[in-house]
């Protein structure tokens, strides 16, 4: 099969799947949006590989907080992606994490050209917008929520197949009349690329983190997160008599919030941009406790992939997130700590961190449990078998 995979974010496990499909003899082009800032996978063709990587939005920057400019930009990206689809001439297309305006343009092109496509549904964007519209978005975004839902539903109904990442997504697809073609395949993280390393690794030494206890957050900080909780957590750990440094690897609007809060509360902060993917295992290995954030309203429609990378890295995980979230269930299974994402949870969260930092053997045991679960659940060959079957059925 000639397959075009477009993952807007360029995340590691989507890249890993494309590589596996290419290794199985398929002609795979993997596309992503260069304008979108996020932690990315290994997006370079290595010697001996046949997979091709084709970015869209080169040299641009996403206008995240301006509705009009962002809409226009996403429509242009849709035209660019549609042009890529025409040039690749795929037998089947699979898309993930694509903004709805971009997706509508692409789907319209695929319909005209009669190319089957698969929606890899990572976020229900209409639900996300409505959840945050009241307090975090402008009136223009509020008004756009119904249009986004209409576009998302229209695209879903025209997909040959839908892959959802959790059972909770099926309720949405039942309401849209698309549940009969939806398959649940949970997300995973690349086991071979992200694995446990020594706490005192080269990255930790280079950034002077090898001899200090750290709370580490690595990944996107957007509308589904409250970055102030990270600083508040670190402050309470320090107040309990345990020195700790907050390390955040992120790029975006949250940077300013973190700097201001850290300065106000007197929290030692190391703030760094997204690191090269080949160093991610060292980055995660530099954390004594790895922290996940997810707002309560995001519990049903988002599974933070950073949690899965944390498990692969073999470190204890603290989740300030909805307990019903699939990732929260994984954290609980490995004896991590899951608490609500609000100020009331910071005291018990800090107490858990303080106890953990005082017990090296327990940290090691929790890290081993995390890695063991990842090795059980994230087998690439099983996931790739299911995706390959779905793609082949679409072509047939």
Q: How far is CA 213 from the centre of its chain?
A: 26
Q: Is residue 360 part of a domain?
A: yes
Q: Is residue 193 part of a domain?
A: no
Q: In terms of Cα–Cα distance, which of 326, 6, 321, 394 is closest to 166? A: 326
Q: In terms of Cα–Cα distance, which of 367, 193, 220, 224 is closest to 299? A: 224
- pLDDT attached to residue 148: 83
Number of domains the chain is built from:
2
- pLDDT attached to residue 132: 55
SS (H, E, C) 162-212: EEECCCCHHHHHHHHCCHHHEEECCCCCCCCCCCCCCCCCHHHHHCCCCCC
Q: Is residue 196 part of a domain?
A: no
Instruction: Give the count of beta carbons closer than 10 Å to the beta carbon of residue 175.
Output: 10
Residues 228 and 168 in one domain: no
Beta strands in the chain (DSSP E): 2-7, 27-33, 52-56, 92-96, 117-121, 161-164, 182-184, 214-218, 245-249, 269-272, 289-293, 317-320, 337-339
Instruction: Give the count of beta carbons closer than 10 Å to the beta carbon of residue 383.
Output: 19
Q: Report the DSSP pairing between strands 337-339 and 317-320.
A: parallel
Q: Which portions of the chain are predicted below pLDDT 70? A: 64-66, 126-144, 222-224, 298-301
Looking up residue 373, the CATH number of its domain turns out to be 3.40.50.2000
- pLDDT attached to residue 94: 98
DSSP 275: P
Residues 236 and 331 in one domain: yes
Residues 177 and 295 in one domain: no
Alpha-carbon gap, residue 93 to 6, rounded angstroms: 8
Residues 22 and 61 in one domain: yes
Q: In terms of Cα–Cα distance, which of 4, 387, 2 is closest to 162? A: 387
- pLDDT attached to residue 321: 92
Q: Domain limits at 35?
A: 2-188+379-395
Beta bridge partners of 216: 247, 290
Q: In terms of Cα–Cα distance, which of 257, 256, 249, 329 is closest to 290? A: 249
The answer to whether 103 and 16 are in contact (CB under 8 A) is: no
Beta bridge partners of 363: none
- pLDDT attached to residue 39: 80
Alpha-carbon gap, residue 201 to 282, rounded angstroms: 6
Q: In terms of Cα–Cα distance, which of 396, 394, 377 is closest to 162? A: 394
Residues 102 and 233 in one domain: no
- pLDDT attached to residue 299: 60
Q: Is residue 172 part of a domain?
A: yes
The answer to whether 33 and 80 are in contact (CB under 8 A) is: no
- pLDDT attached to residue 223: 56
- pLDDT attached to residue 136: 52
Residues 207 and 147 in one domain: no
Residues 110 and 220 in one domain: no
Residues 113 and 217 in one domain: no
Instruction: Dig out the tokens for 17 from the structure.
Output: 């799947």
Residues 156 and 212 in one domain: no
Q: What is the pLDDT of residues 194-241, one digit of tens each?
A: 999 999 999 999 999 999 999 999 988 865 678 999 999 999 999 999
Containing H/E element for 71?
Answer: helix 67-88
Q: Is residue 159 part of a domain?
A: yes
Q: Is residue 82 part of a domain?
A: yes
Residues 299 and 156 in one domain: no
Containing H/E element for 158?
Answer: helix 139-158
Alpha-carbon gap, residue 100 to 381, rounded angstroms: 30
Q: Is residue 215 part of a domain?
A: yes
Q: What is the pLDDT of residues 278-316, one digit of tens each?
A: 999 999 999 999 999 988 776 666 778 889 999 999 999
Alpha-carbon gap, residue 366 to 307, rounded angstroms: 14
DSSP 45: P
Residues 237 and 292 in one domain: yes
Residues 262 and 389 in one domain: no
Residue 275, classified by CB atoms within 10 Å of its CB into exposed (0-12), middle (13-18) or buried (19+), is middle
Q: Is residue 195 part of a domain?
A: no
Which phi and psi (to 5°) does residue 189 adopt?
A: -140, 155
């Amino acid at each position: 099969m000639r397959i075009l995979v477009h993952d807007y974010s360029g995340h590691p496990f989507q890249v890993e799947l494309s590589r596996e499909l290419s290794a199985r003899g398929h002609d795979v082009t993997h596309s992503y949006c260069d304008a979108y800032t996020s932690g990315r996978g290994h997006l370079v063709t290595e010697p001996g590989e046949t997979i091709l990587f084709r970015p869209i939005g080169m040299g641009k920057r996403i206008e995240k907080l301006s509705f009009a400019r962002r809409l226009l930009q996403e429509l242009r990206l849709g035209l660019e992606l549609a042009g890529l689809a025409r040039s690749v001439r795929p037998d089947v297309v699979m898309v993930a994490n694509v903004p709805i305006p971009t997706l509508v343009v692409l789907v319209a092109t695929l319909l005209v050209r009669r190319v089957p496509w698969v929606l890899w549904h990572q976020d229900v964007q209409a639900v996300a917008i409505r959840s945050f519209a009241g307090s975090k978005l402008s009136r223009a975004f509020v008004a756009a929520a119904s249009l986004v839902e209409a576009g998302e539903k229209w695209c879903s109904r025209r997909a040959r197949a839908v892959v959802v990442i959790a059972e909770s997504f099926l309720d949405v697809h039942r309401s849209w009349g698309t549940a009969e073609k939806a398959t649940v395949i949970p997300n995973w993280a690349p086991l071979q690329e992200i694995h446990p390393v020594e706490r005192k690794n080269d990255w930790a030494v280079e950034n002077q983190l090898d001899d200090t206890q750290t709370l580490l957050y690595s990944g996107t900080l957007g509308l589904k997160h409250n970055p102030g909780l990270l600083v508040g957590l670190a402050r309470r750990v320090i107040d309990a008599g345990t020195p700790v440094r907050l390390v955040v690897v992120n790029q975006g609007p949250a940077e300013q919030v973190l700097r201001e809060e850290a300065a106000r509360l007197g929290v030692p902060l190391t703030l760094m941009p997204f690191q090269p993917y080949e160093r991610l295992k060292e980055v995660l290995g530099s954390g004594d406790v790895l922290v996940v954030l997810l707002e309560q309203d995001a519990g049903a429609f988002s599974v933070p992939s950073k949690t899965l990378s944390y498990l692969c890295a073999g470190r204890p995980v603290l989740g300030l997130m909805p307990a019903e979230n699939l990732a929260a269930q994984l954290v609980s299974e490995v004896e991590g700590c899951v608490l609500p994402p609000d100020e009331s949870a910071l005291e018990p969260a800090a107490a858990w961190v303080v106890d953990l930092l005082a017990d090296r053997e327990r940290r090691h045991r929790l890290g081993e449990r995390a890695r063991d679960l990842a090795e059980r659940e994230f087998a690439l060959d099983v996931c790739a078998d299911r995706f390959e079957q779905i793609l082949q059925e679409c072509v047939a």
